[in-house]
């Protein structure tokens, strides 16, 4: 599934998907297309229409990428495999067969393959690992687990597919059953989607694996930025403020409820059928002290 927000590169992504797949007739793409008169929807001529499931949403009515993924997830139609990417993603030749073979090499049927985003600063043999922390702002009343900053963790040479503590929503490939278990919550807000995605996957027994040494597809936001600026020469900085305004409309109400679910697995965002405890997740991401500190907050 692909949420595409004013992205001129979408057509290149679709061409890369179908032209590089060994079995393009087996690939189905759900797209949420969000374009306007300034950045228009790229032509889909030549793309097999029977393999596209298209939603159009005007940017002025944009619900936020989190809710868009929630809507797109509803278009899953029982396929064997499932993928979530951004609209500026590019694929290697034979990516479909390669990803399936890699996924099927794991006995664990709840394995999720996550693409590796390289360290563009020095190109060294490292992988990105997000440090999460608890932001408890009593004044704003928005307690939440957030991406605090990025740090680099050296890759062990014998660890080809390490397990990251943090899952990136637009870089994953797994089995189709993922769509039925993971909610892609329509009310997730601002910086809450991926921490909660990581939490929900963990307590439901899904295991992410970071593909450090094999590249089947890559996320290339720089192409997106360049294309946007080329379409709007007067725009010298990225200024999509409606992204954040529309995604924060329920922030004060939603954040405490999300954190309550992540601490006690209770409340409106409770994860049904969990096989692991919230405390186990906090321990797995190095936040056990924070868990002990805030578990009695609610």
In a domain, 68, yes or no: yes
Number of domains in the chain: 1
Q: Is residue 133 part of a domain?
A: no
- Please indicate, yes or no, if residue 22 is contained in any of the structural domains: yes
* Confidence class for position 148, pLDDT limits 50, 70, 90: low
Whole-prediction pTM value?
Answer: 0.87
Q: Give how far Cα 25 sits from Cα of 1, 2, 188, 262, Å.
A: 16, 18, 34, 40
Q: Could you tell me if residue 146 is inside a domain?
A: no
Tokens linked to 96 = 């479909």
pLDDT attached to residue 5: 87
Q: What is the pLDDT of residue 191?
A: 66
Q: What does the pLDDT average to over 85-92?
A: 95
Instruction: List 83's β-bridge partners, or say none.
Output: 173
In a domain, 138, yes or no: no
CA 280 to chain centroid, in Å, comes to 22
CATH classification of the domain holding 10: 3.90.550.10
Quick one: pLDDT at residue 63? 67
Q: What is the average pLDDT value for the chain, to the nearest integer? A: 82
Q: What is the Cα–Cα distance from 277 to 147, expressed in whole angstroms?
A: 21
- In a domain, residue 42? The reply is yes
Q: What is the pLDDT of residues 155-166, one digit of tens each?
A: 444 567 888 778
The answer to whether residue 288 is domain-embedded is no
Q: Which of 4-18, 92-106, 150-164, 165-179 has the lowest mean pLDDT?
A: 150-164
Listed in sequence order, the residues at least 6 apart from 130 whose beta carbon sits closer than 8 Å to its beta carbon are 147, 150, 164, 165, 166, 194
Q: How far is 194 from 174, CA to CA, in rounded Å?
A: 16
Domain that holds residue 17: 2-122+155-253
Q: What is the average per-residue pLDDT within 214-243?
A: 69
CB 70 within 8 A of CB 57: no
Q: Is residue 145 pLDDT above 80, yes or no? A: no
């Amino acid at each position: 599934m692909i949420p595409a927000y004013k992205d001129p590169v979408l057509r290149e992504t679709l061409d890369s998907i179908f032209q590089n797949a060994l079995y393009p007739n087996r690939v189905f793409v759900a797209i949420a297309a969000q374009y306007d008169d300034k950045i228009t929807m790229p032509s889909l001529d030549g793309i097999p229409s029977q393999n596209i499931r298209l939603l159009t949403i005007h940017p002025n009515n944009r619900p936020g990428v989190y809710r868009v993924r929630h809507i797109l997830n509803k278009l899953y139609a029982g396929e064997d495999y499932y993928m979530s990417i951004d609209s500026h993603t590019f694929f290697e030749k034979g990516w479909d067969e390669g990803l399936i073979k890699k996924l099927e090499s794991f006995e664990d049927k709840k394995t999720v393959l996550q693409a590796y985003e390289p360290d563009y600063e020095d190109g060294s043999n490292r992988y990105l690992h997000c440090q999460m922390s608890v932001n408890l702002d009593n004044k704003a009343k928005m307690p939440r687990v957030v991406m605090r900053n990025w740090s680099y963790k050296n890759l062990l040479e014998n660890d080809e597919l390490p397990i990251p503590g943090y899952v990136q929503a637009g870089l994953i490939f797994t089995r189709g059953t993922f769509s039925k278990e993971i909610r892609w919550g329509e009310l997730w807000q601002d910086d809450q989607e991926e921490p909660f995605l990581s939490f929900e996957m963990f307590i439901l027994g899904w295991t992410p694996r970071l593909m450090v040494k094999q590249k089947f597809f890559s996320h290339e936001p720089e192409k997106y930025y360049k294309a946007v600026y080329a379409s709007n020469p007067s725009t010298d900085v990225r200024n999509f403020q409606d992204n954040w305004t529309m995604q924060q409309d329920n922030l004060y109400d939603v954040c405490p409820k999300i954190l309550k679910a992540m601490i006690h697995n209770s409340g409106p965002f409770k994860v049904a059928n969990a096989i692991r405890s919230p405390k186990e997740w906090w321990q797995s991401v190095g936040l056990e002290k924070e868990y002990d500190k805030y578990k009695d907050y609610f």
